[in-house]
A and B are shown apart, each in its own frame.
Chain A
Amino acid sequence: MKILGISCYYHDSAAVLVEDCRVVAGAEEERFSRRKHDSSFPRNAIRFCLDYTGTAAAALDLVVFYDKPLKKLERALVTARQYGPRAAPLIDWQVSDFTHRGSRLADDVIELLGCTVPVEYCEHHLSHAASVFYISPFEDAAIVTVDGVGEWATTSLFVGTGDGIEQIREIHYPHSLGLLYATMTAYLGFEVNEGEYKVMGLASYGEPAFDREVSQLLTIFDDGSFRNNLEFFSYMYDERSMFTPLLVELLGPPRDASEPVTQRHMNIAASLQGLCERALVNLVRAAHRETGRDRLCLAGGVAQNVVANSRLLAEAGFAEIFVHPASGDSGGAIGAALYAAHRRSRSARVAIADYDTCIGPHFSNAMIRAALDEADARYEQLEPAELLAYTAGLLTQNMIIGWFQGRMEFGPRALGCRSIIASPCDPQMKDILNARVKFREDFRPFAPAVLEEYSEEYFDHPGKSPYMLFCPKVRPGKAGTIPAVTHVDGTARIQTVAKATNPRFHALIDEFRKLSGVPVVVNTSFNIRGEPIVCTPRDALKCFYGTEIDFLVIGDFVVSKDF
């Protein structure tokens, strides 16, 4: 059975193809359109899924959308009714959005595919829950999903057992940890749905000096739930601002995006991060008590808060936590398709030991060579072993490498297929990368990719972290060895790299280890500020020539600016 999952019309559109309960292809639309967080109907991503797998549109059994548009509209209307005329501009936009986009899904599908395929709709939080449980290594687990808002739910508790997922309860809009964090992201002068991880990074530089004030934004209950103090928030009715003058009275003037970041902003960010961590720990502890399970699956946009994830692992009572590698809305396309597939499957589900996020486009050496020739690039083709040794040598010389290999990752993190890599040993490397390549805020840390077998020697994290979703402490004595990836608070957002799942990236880091004694490299996404991660060789070349990346290693080719 072939099922196409789609998420779109809000942010991070994506399409995935599931065959017999296996995800065989998928990508975010932004990678093709080159518009970051593209929310449009994912035509290019759908075409990729069908073309890559050789699937004719007529062979699709089902298309599944990742939420229920009419139920979202209901939420908008009910909210508007509660807040009266001041909500008019917001409802105007939301109804327009529904009539122009949400209600058109089936038409868009038919228009693109050229044939009629049944369309189903999976609730937003169920899509998140299915996305994480069905790709997890667990047969049986509690599932917690937390985001801004889906239809009504902002937080949900499920239990997954074998093939089935059963919901227990949920917290409804407007009470939302995701919208609390988004509101404070806007207050701190960053872009909502983009700047939340900047706030998280900023928090490490601050002290929770505003703890008493920020705690007033949220009431945390003993049963794991919470309630936003709505007198501080206006996202329910105001399309221009998410917070009320009362929040300004409480915390002082909001930061304009053009203003410099000060210690006060860092302290507010630290206080917010602390509040969210307390709420999440309380929520997940309740999930542990209630479900009696030892394993937790976590998804939804808030699950991208890697600092909170590490605290949950340490404090919430679960023996293991599996977080979806694309826990935001793009991952909903995976969940919607997998949920529909498992409902129809006649064979028992087999838990996945090591889910592979690399389900995107792949380019052969012949295709890469053609792109290099078209760009008149200067390159050499090397044998694989020679390529690894040469690249590792460049890393020891503090060269910055664009690393383009295999199928593109699905999700916000580059995990060794569309990455920029560098030595972690140079204390200046973070500033060099920020200034010469990434052009981003200097307070944002870079992440380490570490050989799985050496991970616990360097980081206080039990087991694997293959998707960069935990942020443990760097072991005492090791921070000085890898200063470029050690954040100001002594943590690092680690990616453990296994030989079995990413052999070429593993082999490269191992070559670097042999030369430097350090089994770690800096791994940051292959893009520049404001652009999506590169998808094609042409994208990679554009980024390479538009920045001060020293070498591009793409397939079996090494591209230099100096040949």
Chain B
Amino acid sequence: MSADQNGTADRTATDAGRLAVRLLELVPAVEQPAVAGSSWTERPKNSFDMTDPYGDP
């Protein structure tokens, strides 16, 4: 079991599975370019938006 699967979530996922397939079509492929010798990702300063559950700066 992975850490993400250790919760006690409701697993009645039939609708969720269909939604996942639909959402996958909408999500762009995000691939982090591998930087030689580092795995840090820079973070814009003061980028915390607390009002948004998505919260992308």
Residues of A within 8 A of B (CB): 9-11, 37, 39-40, 64-65, 68-71, 74, 76-78, 80-82, 88, 90-101, 120-123, 126, 148-149, 151, 156, 166-172, 175, 178-179, 182-183, 186, 191-193, 221-227, 235, 238-240, 242, 339-340, 343
- Give Cα distance in the complex from A186 to B13, angstroms: 25
Query: Nearest chain A CB to B7's CB is how many angstroms away?
Result: 5
Within 8 A of A (CB), among B1-55: 1-13, 15-17, 19-20, 23-24, 27, 29-32, 37-43, 45-48, 50-55
Contact present for A93 and B11 (CB under 8 Å):
yes
Return 28 A-B CB contacts under 8 Å, by A number: A11-B7, A64-B50, A77-B20, A77-B27, A91-B17, A92-B16, A94-B4, A94-B20, A95-B16, A95-B19, A95-B20, A96-B12, A96-B16, A97-B10, A99-B19, A100-B12, A120-B51, A121-B51, A126-B48, A167-B47, A172-B32, A178-B3, A182-B3, A192-B1, A224-B40, A225-B39, A227-B39, A242-B2
Contact present for A92 and B20 (CB under 8 Å):
yes
Contact present for A78 and B7 (CB under 8 Å):
no
- Give Cα distance in the complex from A494 to B15, angstroms: 50
Given contacts A95-B19, A239-B1, 5 further A-B contacts (CB under 8 A): A65-B53, A95-B23, A98-B16, A123-B55, A183-B2
Give A40's nearest chain B residue, CB to CB. Answer: B8
Give the chain A neighbours of B37 by CB distance below 8 A.
Answer: 221-223
Residue from the set B3, B24, B50, B53 with the largest chain A CB neighbour count within 10 Å: B3
- Give Cα distance in the complex from A405 to B28, angstroms: 55
List 7 tightest A-B contacts by C-beta distance, closest first.
Answer: A96-B16, A96-B13, A235-B2, A97-B9, A70-B54, A120-B50, A95-B16
Query: Nearest chain A CB to B57's CB is how many angstroms away?
Result: 10
Query: Nearest chain A CB to B32's CB is how many angstroms away?
Result: 7
Known: A81-B27, A225-B38. A92 touches B6 (CB 8 A): no
Contact present for B41 and A192 (CB under 8 Å):
no
Residue from the set A9, A77, A186, A340 with the largest chain B CB neighbour count within 10 Å: A77
From B4, B23, B39, B47, contact of A235 by CB (8 A): B4
Known: A71-B54, A121-B55, A235-B4. A100 touches B48 (CB 8 A): no
Contact present for B20 and A172 (CB under 8 Å):
no
From B16, B38, B50, contact of A340 by CB (8 A): B50
Contact present for B1 and A242 (CB under 8 Å):
yes
Give the chain A neighbours of B4 by CB distance below 8 A.
Answer: 76, 90, 94, 149, 235
Give the chain A neighbours of B5 by CB distance below 8 A.
Answer: 90, 93, 239
Contact present for B38 and A223 (CB under 8 Å):
yes
Give the chain A neighbours of B6 by CB distance below 8 A.
Answer: 11, 37, 191-193
- Give Cα distance in the complex from A98 to B7, angstroms: 12
From B7, B15, B39, B51, contact of A99 by CB (8 A): B15
From B10, B39, B48, contact of A101 by CB (8 A): B10
Give B36's nearest chain A residue, CB to CB. Answer: A221
From B3, B16, B51, B55, contact of A193 by CB (8 A): B3
Contact present for B9 and A93 (CB under 8 Å):
yes
- Give Cα distance in the complex from A101 to B20, angstroms: 15
- Give Cα distance in the complex from A156 to B48, angstroms: 14
Give B12's nearest chain A residue, CB to CB. Answer: A96
- Give Cα distance in the complex from A99 to B3, angstroms: 19
Contact present for A71 and B48 (CB under 8 Å):
no
Give the chain B neighbours of A91 by CB distance below 8 A.
Answer: 17, 20, 24
- Give Cα distance in the complex from A239 to B42, angstroms: 30
Query: Nearest chain B CB to A120's CB is how many angstroms away?
Result: 4
Contact present for B13 and A95 (CB under 8 Å):
yes
Known: A10-B7, A171-B41, A192-B6. A99 touches B16 (CB 8 A): yes
Give the chain A neighbours of B24 by CB distance below 8 A.
Answer: 77, 80-81, 91
From B9, B40, B52, contact of A171 by CB (8 A): B40
Query: Nearest chain A CB to B17's CB is how many angstroms away?
Result: 4
Give A343's nearest chain B residue, CB to CB. Answer: B50
Give the chain B neighbours of A70 by CB distance below 8 A.
Answer: 53-55
Give A37's nearest chain B residue, CB to CB. Answer: B6
- Give Cα distance in the complex from A100 to B15, angstroms: 11
Residue from the set B11, B19, B41 with the largest chain A CB neighbour count within 10 Å: B41
Query: Nearest chain B CB to A545's CB is how many angstroms away?
Result: 29
Contact present for B3 and A149 (CB under 8 Å):
yes
From A39, A183, A192, A227, contact of B8 by CB (8 A): A39
Give A120's nearest chain B residue, CB to CB. Answer: B50
Give the chain A neighbours of B48 by CB distance below 8 A.
Answer: 122-123, 126, 167
Contact present for B11 and A74 (CB under 8 Å):
no
Give A73's nearest chain B residue, CB to CB. Answer: B23
Give the chain B neighbours of A151 by CB distance below 8 A.
Answer: 55
- Give Cα distance in the complex from A509 to B1, angstroms: 42
